[in-house]
Amino acid sequence: MSAAAELALEGLTKRYEGAVAVDAVSLTVPRGSYVVLLGPSGSGKTTVLNMLGGFTLPTAGCIRVGGADITTAPPAKRPTATVFQDYALFPHLTVAGNVGFGLSVRGMGRGEIARHVAAALALVGLAGYGPRGIAQASGGQRQRIALARALVTEPAILLLDEPLGALDLSLRRQMQDELRRIQRTEGRTFVHVTHDQEEAMAIADLIVIMNAGRIEDMGPPARLYERPRTRFAARFLGESSLLEGTVAAAGAGRIAVDTPCGRLEVEGERAPGSSVTLALRPEAVRVGAGRPGELALGELAVEEVVFQGGFVRVTGTVAGGGRLLAKVDPQSLPAGVARVPATVRAGGLVLLED
């Protein structure tokens, strides 16, 4: 596949009677990216994946890979392979029979199939497991078998629907690292669906946040976390304090906003008098004596302090009524302190679009 083999979705839409599952989704993914579709249940993630895999026909819009239109191509004629949410393994076949199934359907010779199957099983850490039955396989092994079965066809694009959802936490973390490793060594495009924001941040080059069939925000994890575009994105990916306010003054790409934490200056453009929402990530908020360049948020009446190892999680309210969440160094909040000045570092305040 050439470098032009990027994946492009243009106005991709799926309507069911009375409901729009996916609503005009447009997106371009460079070849070799790890893309995560992240969103709550019902936001349209599986429907997008099924349209990419050829299992659901779009109502409108198109899908291109390297410029070629594959919108209506049958699954077997696409450069895609899918790891289904329930793995969909064949219980009556051995591990090798499952992994090699697609290759035998394509008419590949036995010897060649055996070589490809062995390589795919090695890639997922199951070398030598070929002759075993499926019934004895653990949840983690089934997940790897399903992954090997998809990888063995050497798809340009691997589609994974909640692939780690059935695994326990430690196995999930381990498989996240492995998926990332496999994606890097193989240089394929992965499109991975999850509702787990930590998983998305841990593995994605590009996160696409979905809400009610639409793309709410998309970008590299750090950009999405540090500068969420919308209220939904600020809430869904990590935690934020949200401050409602009114623009008091505007000019030169900055606005001053009257908020329950006082008048705060932030990058952005809005007419004076507009209602706006500002988001603050808990890591951007500090308590104690302010440092140069920080914006004062007022005195915080501490309501709850939770020790979380490397940091403490503090919630409280400032005099003007603003509710704040901060994750701060345990040293900066002596035990039993009831009131403490709070500040936010410059750049830690973000103007939301809605």
* Residues that bind ligand ADP in the complex, under the rule CB under 6 A: 16, 19, 21, 39, 41-47
Least CB distance to ligand ADP at residue 7 (A): 18
Choose the contact partner of 42 out of Mg ion, ligand ADP, none; CB within 5 to 8 A by kind: ligand ADP
Residues near 284 by Cβ (< 8 Å), separated by ≥ 6?
344, 345, 347, 348, 349
Q: Out of Mg ion, ligand ADP, none, which partner does residue 233 contact, by CB within 5 to 8 A per kind?
A: none
Q: Which is nearer to ligand ADP, 19 or 338 (CB)?
A: 19
**Distance in Å, CB of 56 to ligand ADP, minimum:** 8
- Residue 44 binds which one of Mg ion, ligand ADP, none, with CB within 5 to 8 A depending on kind? ligand ADP
d(CA 62, CA 48): 11
Least gap, CB of 42 to ligand ADP (angstroms):
4
Residue number, 16 or 331, with CB nearest to ligand ADP: 16
Q: Which does 169 bind (CB under 5 to 8 A by kind): ligand ADP, Mg ion, none?
A: none
Nearest approach in angstroms of CB 304 to ligand ADP is 33
Q: Do you know the residue count of the chain?
A: 354
6 vs 161 by CB, closer to ligand ADP: 161
For residues 125 and 121, what is the distance between their CA atoms, to the nearest angstrom? 6
CA distance 158 to 167: 20
Which one of Mg ion, ligand ADP, none interacts with residue 21, CB within 5 to 8 A by kind?
A: ligand ADP
Q: C-beta of 195: minimal distance to Mg ion in Å? A: 8
| Dihedral angle over CA of 34, 55, 79, 124, nearest 10 | 50
Amino acid (1-letter code) at residue 52: L
Spell out the residues 6+ positions from residue 188 whose beta carbon is closer than 8 angstroms to its own.
32, 155, 156, 157, 158
Cβ proximity to ligand ADP, 46 vs 241, nearer residue: 46
State in angstroms the smallest separation of the CB of 45 from Mg ion: 5
Decide: 3 and 31 in contact? Cβ < 8 Å.
yes
Residue 136 interacts with which of ligand ADP, Mg ion, none, CB < 5 to 8 Å by class: none
7 or 52, CB closer to ligand ADP? 52
**Binding-site ranges for Mg ion (CB under 5 A):** 46
Please return the burial class of 321, using the count of CB atoms within 10 Å of its CB with bins 0-12, 13-18 and 19+: exposed
Q: Please state at what angle helix 169-186 crosses helix 139-151, rounded to 10 degrees.
A: 20
Widest CA span of the chain, in angstroms? 75
Residue 120's region, left for phi above 0, alpha for psi from -120 to 50, else beta, is alpha
User: CA 351 to CA 354: how far, in whole Å?
Assistant: 9
252 binds, among ligand ADP, Mg ion, none (CB under 5 to 8 A by kind): none
Q: Which is nearer to ligand ADP, 75 or 347 (CB)?
A: 75
Question: In whole angstroms, how close is the CB of 45 to ligand ADP at the nearest point?
Answer: 4
Nearer to ligand ADP, 6 or 216 (CB): 216
